[in-house]
A and B are shown apart, each in its own frame.
Chain A
């Protein structure tokens, strides 16, 4: 059975290895250049993050889009390997050839799905390792380690994406019995789910931390934390976002008069006076955030979600292949 898989995919496998080698060469060449540039900057900035942020792009312009490799490859694999895996065989009815050899459908599917999922995971494992290394110096520029285009191109999540995209293609091809609709499902389903998870779900993986502080002081979460909300909260619990446009109307009248440049501002008005007034009225500042230390737990949770979804899709595929008439 493994020989059949090898025969079916050896050409595609060779192309994949060649493309992977080419991508690795580009990433390595560019990454080494960045690394030397990085060491030069370190000498002058000595770990001062403000200085680092002023150093401009650490990445040279031509290949700054390299992380998109880990964004795009999973969905491409889902469309080119996942969707036809069962769909094309049903479409051309070669499944009937395979299923009337002395091999059960379950074994046929296990071997095919097993090897192809492994291949996809290895592909993305290589890519994400290279990209994570390549992006190391540049990551220092980001305020948050959880930003889309950053969090989801490095670490282990790209492997989860690839496994999920493959499983989605396999299941869709099995249900539709054709390749083309399955490709459409992978494209739409994968992008849709990625957006929903990164925009709405990711921030809730773990309960966010909210830190209250005196409005006359300040607080910045340590490291590249993910700030979800910040602003001021009144004694009665009224929450107002940062920015004077929102804050001003919510302030007590006595504090409003201390804000410079507003109609009826008192003499001696200053921002410090406003903050002192706010504190006197029981206002506090707050920051709601995911601490930087949660980067790897979040990577693990997100990978887990995609792998579990993939497992469910594969299970559905097995049930259909076993029970549905060929």
Chain B
């Protein structure tokens, strides 16, 4: 399967602050990838580099077969929706659709109009006067009307109420269905629960570094929660990677990335949920902030 996004040791420094540090990420084509991490982890920076809005200070990015660049052919392939949902507040949705038609080669005005009609969003009202959820829907409809091959969405649901959030994700899902595998999506959020239903791939960033990257099902299969008596974890750590440890006086709970079977019968292995996995890696990333952490390997 070809890759939609591939970065190699991608870094971005703003004066003395590092927004991205040696990020190596792969997103296969046709996937919906959740870009997860706490605020300030570098999610926005990564998306902006992929969209060609910012340039990296180190490493390389390859998006749909080439480096992100200011070139009409490249830009036509990318749909980008910034967190602030930038639209011309004084223009109507219809104005935006017509602007899009004038500025894009593969534009599908009918698609945008139908989608907004289904959502009962008025086309002739200034978008500045629409609700936040409606504005996000307009912006998403416009981005989909561009018929991109890669859709980059930065915290698209962060500001939405639960109903608007569900509608937004439903629109996204129908957009994916329309594209019949020709569309790859990377969408960021600081909460995985927002995205769990639509995503099958995950990239986890903390403190400007990649902690986890891969297919969600494969990652869940690779990780187990081991519950056992409280004792030295050194034997486990020799074969597996212990991501997180929690202990009571009598028992310890380890979230472990397995590399082979667990031989110690004292431990009972349990499946891990995506949320537990993400929180464990986020916790590990936070704890090691300041220390130099080697990037956790690639999944899938």
Task: Report A's interface with B, CB cutoff 8 A.
Answer: 1-4, 7-8, 92-107, 322, 325-326
Contact = CB atoms under 8 A, between A and B. Distances in A.
A106 B80 CA distance: 19
A98 B102 CA distance: 11
B102 A100 contact: no
Interface string B94-127: 0100111011110000000000000000000000
Contacts of B54: 325-326
Interface string B68-82: 001111011011101
5 contacts: A8-B88, A95-B86, A102-B146, A103-B103, A104-B70
A105 B70 contact: yes
Given A8-B88, A100-B75, A326-B48, 4 more contacts: A1-B102, A3-B99, A96-B53, A103-B72
Contact of A102 (B51, B53, B76, B82): B76
A97 B86 CA distance: 6
Nearest to A6: B102
A96 B82 contact: yes
Contacts of A92: 86, 89
Contacts, number: 71
A4 B70 contact: no
A2 B101 CA distance: 12
A96 B80 contact: yes
Interface of B: 48, 51, 53-55, 70-73, 75-76, 78-80, 82, 84, 86-89, 91, 95, 98-100, 102-105, 146
A109 to B, nearest CB: 11
Given A7-B95, A94-B87, A96-B80, A101 B53 contact: no
Contacts of B95: 7
A322 B71 CA distance: 11
Contacts of B99: 3-4, 7, 101
B80 to A, nearest CB: 4
Contacts of A98: 103
Nearest to B49: A325
Contacts of A97: 86-88
A324 to B, nearest CB: 9
Nearest to B91: A7
A321 to B, nearest CB: 10
B104 A100 contact: no
Given A4-B102, A7-B99, A101-B104, A96 B71 contact: no
Given A3-B98, A7-B95, A325-B54, A102 B105 contact: yes
Nearest to B152: A100
B86 A106 contact: no
Nearest to B53: A326
Nearest to A100: B80
Nearest to B76: A102
B249 to A, nearest CB: 52
A102 B84 CA distance: 20
A15 to B, nearest CB: 15
B126 to A, nearest CB: 13
A98 B79 CA distance: 12
A104 B98 contact: no
Contacts of B72: 102-104, 107
A75 B87 CA distance: 29
Nearest to B77: A102
A215 to B, nearest CB: 70
B86 A93 contact: yes
A94 B88 contact: yes
B130 to A, nearest CB: 15
B81 to A, nearest CB: 8
